[in-house]
Each structure stands twice: as structure tokens, then as C-alpha cells.
Structure 1
Amino acid sequence: MSVRCARSASVALALAALLLTGCGHSGEGVRDAGDGPGTLADVSTDSVTDAAGGAHAGRAAPEPVRPREIPALGHATRARIPAASTQALVVTGEGADASRATAVLYTRDPVRGWLPADGPWPARNAARGWTAEHHLGDLRSPVGVFGLTDAGGRLADPGTRLPYDHRSAFTADGTGVEGEPLAGSFDYVVAVNYNRKPGTTPLDWTRPLGAERGGGIWLHVDHGGPTHGCVALPRERMRQLLRTLDPARTPVVVMGDAAALSR
């Protein structure tokens, strides 16, 4: 065989060997799996995601979504809202001695927290404002967080889930603090669980704290003037509230002047 033929045969054998390997590498010095070009060994850890799908190393993790709180309520007030409660009517007075307020209904979502569901609605409270220690005849509304478990009125049940006591005894007579007629004020009421026995008609006059601490604090229909201690809402808002409140959601009223509720 000539030298030229021998050289051609050698080149052919070398080419065949390369084709059999599947790549243009002789096999010598091949790095382990995960150590080749383009594998984890050559990629910055700033772009690596862990096996659990967690945040990339070296990058700031996203801020967790925190459930929203009811605005303008202080820590002490929030702490008084039962953990089971997912409905809260927040009545915020214009001042400690003012008789006008604003009401907003909030509902609590298990993930997003407290969200406004309705309102704001105009509201009225007692003629002399608010107090942390209500007494009979002081013409101030009690500050605090109170359950809403029982309803009633002179007019028929508008469709509430609360126990509803429908009877003529809810008739309001006479005039209010400013001389306005009280007729129709108790057409719809929701008892505020201040110094009363929950689970009874709003007309039950049991006073666990004693008669001198007052009672009979209701949400009722606005009669065009300040109240003796109750919270009054426009008629249609009372009907709407009655249809919305659900005892399964442990509804409460959070009521007081803005400064008191911010504590």
C-alpha cells in the first residue's frame, strides 16, 4: 500500500471514531454531570431556584400579603373585636362631645382581612357625645365593641337572619332632645349588647351591670335629632343593615368618638 493510501485510511478511521462519540470531544477531561458549560456550575446562584420553588438566592423575597385592619382603630380597640367576628359596623363620632357620626360596615375576608362592605352612612349618637363609662341619663353613648345578636321593631321583619321581635311595644312616643317627634324611631331596631342579656328581645330590661349603668342602647331609625344614648341611622340603612347582619358571622358594633377608637 502506498504512503498516500495509508494516510487516507488513517483519516477515515479518525473521522469514524469522532462520529461514534456523538460530539467533537475525545472524552478526555469530560466534567461530571452538572459541571459542563451551561450547567449549574457555570450559572450564578443569583438566578437559582431551590427545589421547593422558593425565592431565588440573592434576591429579596416578596413581601407577604398582610390582612388589612379596619382603618383608624387602635390596638386596644382591635383587640376587643372577637376572633370569630367577620362583620363589624364601625360608628365613628365627630368628637367626644359631638352628636353626629359616620357608620361603615366592614366584613373580614380570611386572606385579605377587613374590607369595607357598605357605607359610609350618616349617623347620630347621644346629645352630649360619648363616654367610656355610661350612666343612666348622662345623654352620652357608650364607647366600646358590642355584640349585635337581637333585633325587633314595630314593623314586620324586613328579612333579617337575627332573631326578630315584631310587636307594637316598639312604638316611640313624645319628642326628642331637640323637640323633634320620635314617631317611627323604633320601627326597626338592633339591640347593642351593652348592659343587657344577649339572646333576648331588645325589650328585655335585664341590666347585668345594674340599673344605674343605663341600658336599652339600640341601633334604630333616625328621628332627626341626637339620641339619649343610642345610635340612629337613616330608615333605609337600618333595613339594609338588618338584611345584612348574620349571626353566623358574630356581628359587632364598634362605636365611639375617633380619638377613643384610635386607642
Structure 2
Amino acid sequence: MSLRRLPRGALIASALVTGGLVLSGCAGYPGHATAPARTVEDNSGHGGPPGAAAAPATPAAGLKLRRAAEVQVKEIPALGPKTLKKIPESAKQAVVVTGDAPDSSSSTVVLYVRDPAKGWEPVSDPWSAHNALHGWTEKHYQGDLHSPAGVYGLTDAGGRKKDPGTRLPYDHRSAFVAAGTGFEGESLAGAFDYVVAINYNHKPGTTPLDWTRPMGADRGGGVWFHVDHGGPTHGCVSLSEDRMKELLRWLEPSKNPVVVMGDVSMLGE
């Protein structure tokens, strides 16, 4: 039956019902039931005044909560509050070295950048690395064959080979030579082709070869990132030659890069 054949009263009632359904659809919110169409009885005062049941503030509040969760500041995974507090606010780059265990000479390196709004985000895959023969210590001494756990600046670089394109000050000279063999009989030749000084007992702004020891000679020093020779180190962290060149090119002095290093249990404190 066409609309033209309906009685006038029936046509008006049909328009009211249809209009109510359309309006109720506009007020719907994903995940919420659509409110039923309001009838003439709704205006009589039974159940409250018209419009009182529809509270648009609830969906809006939900959207705000979701947006806040989406931009929640991220921290570096596996770092506990004690370690996080040691990272300066000015640091926008972090090299995280995570040892397999307190007495392990194997570790993993991941590079992170800090976004002002989002927090820390990884920008590399995990890289395999070596650290000291006897693992990690939070109080390093000369000759203890441990890598010093902690958070340290990365300000100076150098090597026997030419600068691969780093923005750090780079000391290129033949004095970067490692002689002899490692703990597993491997050759140390080429280990110091590329190095980055780790500012543990190192004077920032000087060549990695500077032997000034701010905490005293007994606390060791000369702790570097250097080229991996296939075995444990005396205290340094070693990466493959390709990774060392990648690290050197990535570090930016203006972003105050740091290294965060230690075994997984120490970093989790």
C-alpha cells in the first residue's frame, strides 16, 4: 500500500515513529545499546524529563581515557625504578646492554631513542655481544674481570681504522692495538679497530686512550665498546665490526647518549 492511500492520522503517526528511529541511531556509540525511540508517554513525566536518560558525556569520557592510554609514556622494558632514575633527563639515546646472568660473558644490545611524548622506543634488533669473563659487578676494581654495571655517558671514540662517519670526537691513530690472544685462545688482532669509550672512570671529552682515572687507578678504567674477537673481555663490551660501525654512526652528541649495562637482575632493580 502506498503512502498516498494512508489516512492522514496514520501518516502522521508513521512519520513520528520513523523520525524517532533515525534520531536514536545518531545517538548510538560502538559497544553501547541504542536508546529506544521516545514516545508521547515519555513526556508525561514518568521516568524523568525528556532527554535526561541520554548522557553524551560518558562516551566522550571513554574516548579521552582511550587516547590517554594510547600516548602513555613508555619506559625501557626490564629496567627497574632504581636503574631508570640513573638515566639523565637530557639523554635521548640509550644503548642497553643486558647480560644473560651475573656471571655470564654473553649479553644482548638494543638501541633506544626517547620521544618527548611517547617515551623510549627501540630502534634496532637485539645484537649479540660479549662482556667480561666473570660477568658483572656494581663495584668494579682493576683486574677483577667483571664489567661495571651502571649508567654511563658515551662521549668519545677512536680506533686504528679511519672514522666510519661518527659525530662523536674520533681519535684515529695506530696506538689502538690489541695484542696477543683472548681467554679462549682467539686472536685479539683488530679488536680496537673501532672503539667507543664508556665513561666509567673515564674523563669525558678526552680520547679513549687517556688514562686519567677520576675515581683512582684501583677502580679500573679503559672500558670500551670495541670490535668482538669471539670471546669474553676483560671488562669491555664487544660487538661485531659491522655493528660497531653502525653504533658509531648512530650516536649523536646532541642527544647525550648513555649506555645502560648490567645483567638482567641488576637492571631490573
Q: Give the TM-score taking structure 1 as reference length.
A: 0.80
Q: Which stretches of structure 1, 4 residues or longer, exceed 6 Å deviation after superposition?
A: none
The answer to whether the 8 A contact 1:46-1:56 is kept is: no
- Structure 1: runs of 5 or more not aligned: 1-36
3-state DSSP of counterpart to 1:102: strand
1:162 to 159, 165, 168: 168
**Whole-angstrom CA distance in 1 between matches of 2:60 and 2:230:** 62
C-alpha displacement at 1:134, in angstroms? 0.4
1:11-26 alignment, distance < 5 Å: none
How big is each residue's C-alpha offset from its partner over 1:127-154, in whole Å with a ceiling of 9 and x where there is no partner? 0000000000000000000000000000
1:226 equivalent to 2:232? Answer yes
Which of these residues, 102, 114, 121, is aligned with residue 127 of structure 2? Answer: 121
Q: Secondary structure at the match of 1:219?
A: strand
Identity of aligned residues (%): 61
Aligned positions of 1:234-253 closer than 5 A: 234-253=240-259
Aligned residue runs from structure 1 range 1-263, under 5 A = 42-44=50-52, 46-48=54-56, 56=60, 61-63=64-66, 64=68, 65-263=71-269
Letter in 2 for 1:230: C
Describe the shift of the 1:44–1:76 C-alpha distance in structure 2 as closer, same or farther (beyond 3 A).
same
Q: Residue 48 and residue 117 in structure 1: after superposition, are their counterparts in 2 closer, same or farther (change >3 A)?
A: same
Structure having the higher Rg: 1
Letter in 1 for 2:207: T
The RMSD of aligned alpha carbons is 1.7
More helix by share: 2
The count of residues paired between Structure 1 and Structure 2 equals 219
Distance in 2 separating the partners of 1:56 and 1:123: 49
What is the identity, as a one-letter code, of the residue corresponding to 2:50?
D
| In structure 2, distance between residues paired with 1:46 and 1:193 | 62
Q: What are the superposed Cα offsets for residues 167-188 of structure 1, whole Å, 9 maximum, x if unpaired?
A: 0000111111222111000000
